[in-house]
A and B are shown apart, each in its own frame.
Chain A
Amino acid sequence: MGWLLVTPALVYFVVFLLYPALSALYYSFTDWNLRTDAAWVGLANYADLMFDDVKFPHFWKSVRVTLQYTLIAVPLTMAAALAQALLVNAIRRGQNLFRLLLFLPVVTAEAAVGAIWRWLYDPQYGLINSVLGLVGIPGQNWLNTPELVIPALAFISAWQCGISMIIYLAGLKGIPTTINEAAVIDGAGPWQRFWRVTVPMLRPTTFYLLVTGVIAALQVFGLVYVIFSGNGRSVTGGPEQSGLSYVLHLYLFAFRYDAMGAACAMSFILLVFIMIVTAVQFRFVKQEAA
């Protein structure tokens, strides 16, 4: 009976999860595209990715882009989420309304987000430059200036901080009011209470958001794919590959250049990297707690 009920899910799991995971590992050691048989090449894909800058001229660039994006977008998004949560938590009337408004960007499809922000960032008629112009800041060609691409993308990520905001808000509600009251009695000001009570009490939430945020940021794809669609730009991932995220690079090699084996190798490098980064974060938190 039990087996019967789990059978559909189990078949799915084996066919679309377990087998793909194992075969991705196998194919990463082969020269392969979807139409031909795979030819075993050992570690050649991994070696080529890292050392052959004729075959894969932008591999390290995509690594740098992704790390930079992660280092900027994750803290920015978490800070925005915490600020919003603190503000929403501080009011009584209108909590639901503000929560809802701040949450809107999250439920929006990546394709729509990319489309909307391409237009917002438009150098001539985009809303961003118009608003900056009103306060006397010169407009920028955001998505066509290599140094500005990552900050522009990170800002979109922070715009979508609603989920983290809701999770922070739940964390804030979980802080017993007695602790804050005790701090007030002991003469702690709002600033001290924030750093000595709120931040330490939110540590598990922050840790959770950090781990999941880093994992998501390292895999950023849909947004850059749409942002740099069209005008022949999608091939390179933005001006001077400044928006060529790791997964976009992977996608291009898999589906434009038919190098599925190399793409599988890239996906395993990412898998291992994510595991290492996550393990380091866990280790770091354990040490802090001890």
Chain B
Amino acid sequence: MRRASIYVALVLLSAVSVVPFLWMLATSVKHGQDIYTKVPNLLPTDRRTGEWAATLENYDYVLGVGGLGTAFVNSVWVCLILVPAKLLVDALAAYAFARIPFPGRDKLFVVLLAGMMVPAITLLIPRLHVTQALGMFDSGWGLIVPNIASVLDIFLLRQFFLTIPAELEEAALIDGAGRMRVFWRIVLPLSKPVLAVVTITSFLFHWNDLVWPLVVLNDPELYTLPLALQQLVASPDGGRAYYIMAGATLAVIPVIAVLLVFQRRILQGIAFTGLKA
């Protein structure tokens, strides 16, 4: 009895969490007029005859006229370049902070961590100013370079590298392997769990990011998906929920796919890092 009521509660809560997505999906495949029904309808049926009437015309519209096709491609490109590049920069720094003694290392690390305390919004305007001064305003580089490292990721990677037994590396160093070789051949392969967590969270963050593209881009041809979706909401099409929901679906599908594939890693990663995505 008690167990049954727990399951009932969980099913209800899960419904609250999932139904908005089903509603989004249903709206996105309905013909315009069919979304205006008094009784909520999670199936794409004709509002008069009740017959099945699913359509992809809304996707056609938002991918073409709505600009979300270009934006989708842009988002893919940005993530393909930014996520691995950032991982490399962060992992190199984290390895040095974990293993290679150099003068001032630990003080430098503390300064880096202190930098994490500054709210992103405080940095936003001067960061934009720097980006402009470097000639990267309103360009693809402007999306990538100002995001190319993350103190939080350096911290997470360093903490993990510290747990790898140093003897492994020392043995390799004595056998004549160079530092970089040790890094590539020993440290990175042993760090797959943390590399996966950092890669996935960084993908989710940049795929979803609205604020930075919003301030650094003017040219609609360069818009990323969240920005293009926001612009669609703000446009005269904003009242046409079937278009907006088609756009939202395009933004949501890839992250849900990533979540389904990597659910273990993501949920475990969050549990042990306490990460705020």
- Chain A, Cβ-Cβ closest to B179: A1
The one of A118, A162, A216 in contact with B233, judged by C-beta atoms closer than 8 angstroms, is A118
B38–A130 contact, CB under 8 A? Answer: yes
When distances are taken between beta carbons in the complex, the residues of chain B under 8 Å from A131 are 40
Interface check B93, CB cutoff 8 A: yes
A290 located at the interface, meaning its Cβ lies under 8 Å from any Cβ of chain B in the complex: no
| Given known contacts A108-B208, A131-B40, A125 and B35 CB-to-CB distance under 8 angstroms | yes
**Contact A117 B10, CB 8 Å, known A2-B100, A260-B125:** no
Q: Give the shortest distance, in Å, between B273 (CB) and chain A (any CB).
A: 10
Q: Is the CB of B93 within 8 A of A219?
A: no
Question: In the complex, what residue of chain B is closest to A173 when comparing beta carbons?
Answer: B271
A-B contact count (CB 8 A): 267
| Cβ–Cβ contact A229 & B238, under 8 A | yes
User: Which of A5, A17, A112, A166 is the one whose CB lies under 8 Å from B123?
Assistant: A17
Which of B235-277 touch A at CB < 8 Å?
235, 238-239, 241, 244-245, 247-248, 251-252, 255-256, 258-260, 263, 266-267, 270-272, 274-277
Residue among A6, A101, A127, A219 with max Cβ neighbours from chain B (10 Å): A6
Q: Are A9 and B125 within 8 A (Cβ)?
A: no
Residues of B within 8 A of A21 (CB): 115, 118, 122-123, 126
> For window 116-152 of chain B, which residues contact chain A by CB distance below 8 Å?
117-130, 132, 146, 148-149, 151
Distance (whole angstroms) from the CB of A160 to the closest CB of chain B? 9
Residues of B near any A CB (own CB < 8 A): 3, 6-7, 9-10, 13-14, 16-21, 23-24, 27, 35-40, 89-90, 92-93, 95-97, 100-102, 105, 108, 112, 115, 117-130, 132, 146, 148-149, 151, 154, 179, 204, 207-208, 210-211, 214-215, 225-227, 229-230, 233-235, 238-239, 241, 244-245, 247-248, 251-252, 255-256, 258-260, 263, 266-267, 270-272, 274-277
Interface of A toward B, CB cutoff 8 Å: 1-6, 8-10, 12-13, 15-21, 23-24, 27, 34, 83-84, 87-88, 90-91, 94, 96, 98-112, 114-120, 122, 124-125, 127, 130-131, 159, 162-163, 166-167, 169-170, 208, 212, 215-216, 219, 221-222, 225-226, 229-231, 234, 247, 250, 254-255, 260, 263-264, 267-268, 270-271, 274-275
